[in-house]
Amino acid sequence: MKKFVLTAAAAAVTLSLGLGTAHAAEAIKAPSKSWSFSGVFGTYDQAQLQRGYQVYKEVCSSCHGMDLIAFRNLADLGYNEDELKALAAEYEVTDGPDDDGEMFDRTARLSDYFPSPFPNAKAAAASNGGAIPPDLSLVAKARVGGPDYLYALLTGYEEDVSADVLQSIYETETHKREVQYAADLEAYSVKKAKYDEAVKTDSSLKEPKMPEDPGPVESVEDLGLPDTSSFNAYFPGYGIAMAAPLADESVEYSDGTPATLSNHAADVSAFMMWAAEPSMDQRKQMGIKVILFLLVFTGILYAAKRKCWSDVH
């Protein structure tokens, strides 16, 4: 058995060292948050998903589509069929062609997918200053950090993040600039020496420009983000085209949950996680059963192996 444990441990080391996480671009790492669906036994909280859907519907959906989600899928959130039909009936979708060859509008049915806010990507870009709002169906799986990242992003605008977070960004960026400036100066001195030598024979050469000291980063303005973008502590590069979408009181919850920015962000992040991975609850429940079975099964096999091998010398 000792030999076996060694083998297994070495195999585990091979695996863990071989993997490791890929490095994200600049921007700080989203802190990990505790979710109802965290961990082996975690499951989605239907009430939270319903609130998240409400946030999506009332705020996000004006710019972001969710092409992969149909109204029927919302049954996972705990709505009954009548409620679902009522939800779908709030939307108009284009169908057709009918028998006369004409496209027509009708109210949405359960089988319809969420309508897109824009007819195409060009229209989306035109309405959003050139940036295309990404589809949110899979966004919780398509970003490093998943729902933690989404929550951090939604609460990561300048007015909402803590002074400590801002300070740490300023320090990191100041350090980066210092390193870059030092490298630039060194490159300059090499170029300058070359120029000084070459200019003796060819006076038409242009003198290399001395790099300017960018100075420390002490405020968001110092980051030099483009005017069209907002500062966000968790967005790669810190400049995000989406203005802060949520604030306290953005959405009025009917279940008495306080309408705070933190709740809105957490609820809609949970909703996006569900949209990206609707089978998670089922998967984990099956996993627990499979692992329990395998533990027993493997234990029996180990006993069988010991018994079988007991006569080998």
Q: How far apart are CA 154 and CA 30, in angstroms?
A: 11
Query: How many residues lie near another protein (CB under 8 A)?
Result: 53
Binding of another protein at residue 291 (CB under 8 A)?
yes
298 binds another protein (CB under 8 A): yes
294 binds another protein (CB under 8 A): yes
- Cα 149 to Cα 232, 269, 280: the distances in Å are 12, 9, 19
**Contact yes or no for 243/230 (Cβ under 8 A):** yes
User: Contact with another protein (CB under 8 A): which of 23, 200, 206, 209?
Assistant: 23
Does the footprint of another protein cover residue 290 (CB under 8 A)? yes
**Out of 126, 142, 199, 205, which residue is the one contacting another protein (CB under 8 A)?**
142
Question: What residue has token string 């948050």?
Answer: 33
- Candidates 152-160, 181-189, 218-226, 303-311 — which segment interacts with another protein by CB under 8 A? 303-311
Q: What is the largest CA-CA distance in the chain?
A: 94
- 77 vs 34: CA distance, rounded Å: 20
Site for another protein, residues 199 to 238, rule: CB under 8 A: 236
- To another protein, the closest distance from the beta carbon of 133 in angstroms equals 14
Q: Minimal CA–CA distance to 56: which of 136, 145, 140?
A: 136
Of 32, 73, 174, 257, which one interacts with another protein (CB under 8 A)?
73
Q: Which segment (103-111, 188-196, 239-247, 302-310) binds another protein by CB under 8 A?
A: 302-310
- Bridge partners, 34 (sequence order): none
Contact window for another protein (CB under 8 A) among 16-24, 150-158, 248-256, 266-274: 16-24
Q: Which contiguous run of DSSP H or E holds residue 162?
A: none
**Min. distance of Cβ 188 from another protein in angstroms?**
20
For tokens 């605008």, what's the residue?
157
Taking the least distance from each CB to another protein, the nearer of 193 and 286 is: 286
175 part of the interface to another protein, by CB under 8 A: no
Q: Residue 259, interface with another protein (CB under 8 A)?
A: no
Cβ 252 to another protein shortest distance, Å = 31
| C-beta closer to another protein: residue 211 or 278 | 278
| CA nearest neighbour of 61 among 84, 90, 83 | 90
Give, for 310, the enclosing helix (H) or strand (E): none
State the distance between the two ends of the chain, measured CA to CA, in whole angstroms. Answer: 16
- Rounded CA separation 276/37 (Å): 13
* Residue 122 makes contact with another protein by CB under 8 A: no
Told to check if 179 binds another protein by CB under 8 A, we report no
Q: Distance between CA 123 and CA 189 in Å, rounded?
A: 49
| Residue carrying structure tokens 């989605």 | 44
Residue 162, CA distances (Å) to 29, 167, 174, 203 in order: 15, 9, 19, 55
Q: Which residues bind another protein (CB under 8 A)?
A: 1-4, 7-8, 11-12, 14-15, 17-20, 22-23, 25, 40, 68, 73, 134, 137-138, 141-144, 146, 236, 276, 278-279, 283-284, 286-288, 290-291, 294-295, 297-298, 301-302, 304-306, 308-310, 312-313
